[in-house]
Amino acid sequence: MILKCEKYATNWKQYKKVDVDEALRYKRKRATFVAANYGTARAIARWSKQNIDQTYKKLEELRKVDPTVPRKLVYNDETNVRPQHTLPSKKLFSSADVSISALNQRKRQKLIDEEDEKREEEIRKEAIINQIDFGMNEASLQLQAQVAATIQQLASIPQSFNSSK
């Protein structure tokens, strides 16, 4: 015999909803038990809600009779409100931060430019010293002129065999 399974929509009402206020209330009750030395936080966390409620009633009655029992912990009303996750109102970079970073960047660029100018000046000085040391005579100047003329002639030759591709 083959049984048919019918598909039903999920009944979400059967699942327990998390009540934030109730959870906070029980969390505070457990904290008072730990403060009153009823046990460790780990042991009290395992107690059922019924056990917590019964023990809390007994503790309330004991507080009325015995003044040595620790007082009820006081909480701010702000903790009852669920924290809202909001984005910070201040931007990551304000206009003042941007202008400061731009100024810093300009300063760095100016330092780099100054260093480059110093290097170029040193290279020029070395080139002048090398020219003086090697003795730029007329023969070497004529040789340099011939090389420059040859380079100009080669640059003026049309390269037709390469340009037809």
Amino acid at 32: T
d(C-alpha 165, C-alpha 160), whole Å:
10
Give residue-wise pLDDT tens across range 80-121: 555 555 555 555 555 556 677 788 888 899 999 999 888 888
- Find which of 10-19, 30-39, 119-128 is predicted with most confidence, using mean pLDDT: 30-39
d(CA 58, CA 98): 63
Distance CA 49, CA 92 (A): 46
Contact at 8 Å (CB) between 68 and 78? Answer: no
Q: Does this model's pTM top 0.75?
A: no
Look at residues 23, 25, 29, 28 and name the one whose alpha carbon lies nearest to residue 58.
Answer: 29
